[in-house]
Amino acid sequence: MKIAIAQINPRVGDISGNTAKIEAFARRAQDHGADLAVFPELAVTGYPPLDLLDKENFIDANLAALDKLAALRLDTGIVVGYAGRNPAGKGKALTNSVALIHGGRVAAKRAKSLLPTYDIFDEARYFEPAADNRPLRFKGELIGLTICEDIWAGTDLIPSRLLYRNDPVRTLRAAKASIIINISSSPFYRGKGAKRRAILSALAKRLKAHVIYANQTGANDELIFDGNSFALAPDGRVTARARSFDEDMVLIDTSSAAPAAKAEPAEGMAEVRAALTLGIRDYFGKMGFSKAVLGLSGGIDSAVVAALAAGALGPENVTGVLMPSVYTARQSNTDAARLARNLGIGAMTVPIKNIYSAFLGELKAGDPAGDVSLTMQNLQSRSRGTVLMALANEHNWLALTTGNKSEIAVGYCTLYGDTAGALAPIADLFKTEVYRLAEYFNRDSEVIPAAIIKRPPTAELKPGQKDQDDLPPYETLDEIIRLYMEENLTPGQIIRKGFPRELVSRLLRRVEINEYKRKQLPIALKVTEKSFGCGRRMPIAKALDFVK
């Protein structure tokens, strides 16, 4: 059987636009002689549709899209994800469904059995799980249709604590399905693509069946979808692989031993850069914006965000704003200006000295020549935030924030100051990773000035300030936060890895007491398995005995 994997980038809520894209790819598949064109999970609605699923007219429009696709009467069958109504009449009103469209009708429907409710997922809020999953016969082949989580039961791709009561793939295997199709909208985190291929390769061998994995690409809000769709032979070999972070269509003939197209997957910092570039581009494009503004401080964080924005939107659509204060070193301005020239982005200077002085005068908060209190430091940051938001309002730009995961973890940021903006591109990268990404940008030639990379990080909100005055070395800070956040270790387990008890207790306390700040931060692009975004659901007002 000839199968086309149609790796598309749907827009949430754009049912007409998504349907037109599905039609265009299906026609391409037909032109190439495909028997089936396979599209991602909830491709009709876009993923994740969230509470749009509560709107009756939204569900009606998504069901009407199936009829429109059926009316095309293509020779190629279409396998596509949509939101279906629960025919049982009990439980939730909807099912996360997949349809096989062929011969002018919806020839078959199946629903998702395993509904994830961990990390960023909350599908049980909307959908009723399917009780079973039976294979169907199409053009002489017995095919199993599965949706995302259905294929991962009992594997390392879901939390070990999560035990599902049934395994849809086991049922399909018992029925001797020869082709297992999995339509997916699997959000990206670093290294996930390689993990998926390894797990499904082992599954293909165990099933002695072809496995077709169709994942969406693109970004919706903080979630990035890497694509990386692929096909596997019964011996576990990758026989076709789509591009990373881009729309693509690959063809596989299950009756042929000849390999199809195999795009090389992105890895390491190349993967992170591609993911963040896509996240920025799609956030702006799907929101109807084209131009970005950000503060250029001469530091590593703003340099990396500027480089990412230039790559995502085009340098002509990015403006960096230098906002020197009385404490800004000349080197900071020089380095920021050089960075702007290297990237080819626009640059403007708006000094905040007079704005800051006016604030101090009206508030009687202090003397610019005296000791610089925390209030005075935050006033500088908030002055910069106000300038950036005013420019964004005036020119129809979106403001990018430049905070990293290390700073956000311990609250080393100013609400309504350096946190003011629409999107936080590097908020899920530790400071040490920001440096690694900067080095990646410079792998062929100097993009980010070496002086920015080598200079000790500083907020420059008071004379002689350095980040390390308030924080431990970032190598230490990042590892403690990583163990706590991503490996979910207890304070005692972290201490037993060799970190001082007082330091661990102090840092983890800072993580927890700054939850109120993180709840007010802009959308943060997710690139790790556990970010500070929608997947972390911690109370703000709480006792802190658990971090002692």
Three-state DSSP class for 179? strand
3-class secondary structure per residue, 355-393: HHHHHHHHHCCCCCCCCCCHHHHHHHHHHHHHHHHHHHH
Let me know: does 162 contact 124? Beta carbons within 8 Å.
Answer: no
In sequence order, which residues have a C-beta less than 8 Å from that of residue 419 and are 6 or more positions away? 385, 401, 403, 413, 517, 520, 521, 522
Answer yes or no: 41 catalytic.
Answer: yes
Active site annotation includes 264:
no
- Strands (E) in 256-370, as ranges, are 292-295, 318-322, 346-349
Q: Which two tokens stand for residue 51?
A: 């509470």
Q: ∠213-217-219 over CA atoms, to 5°?
A: 145
Identity of the residue numbered 370: G
Distance CA 175, CA 316 (A): 57
Tell me, what amino acid is at 507?
A: L
Choice among 2, 41, 222, 413 that is catalytic: 41
Spatial contact of 423 and 318, defined as CB atoms under 8 Å apart: no
How many other C-beta atoms can be found within 10 angstroms of the C-beta atom of residue 344? 11
454 catalytic per annotation: no
Strands (E), 216-258: 217-220, 223-226, 230-232, 238-241, 248-253
**Which of these is catalytic: 112, 286, 405, 517?**
112
Query: What distance in Å separates the CA atoms of residue 98 and residue 112, rounded to the nearest whole number?
Result: 8
Q: Using CA atoms, how far apart are residues 166 and 143, in angstroms rounded to an integer?
A: 19
Query: Residue 499 and residue 497: Cα distance in Å, rounded?
Result: 6
Please tell me which residue in 21, 148, 286, 431 is annotated as part of the active site: 148
Which residues form the catalytic set?
41, 112, 148
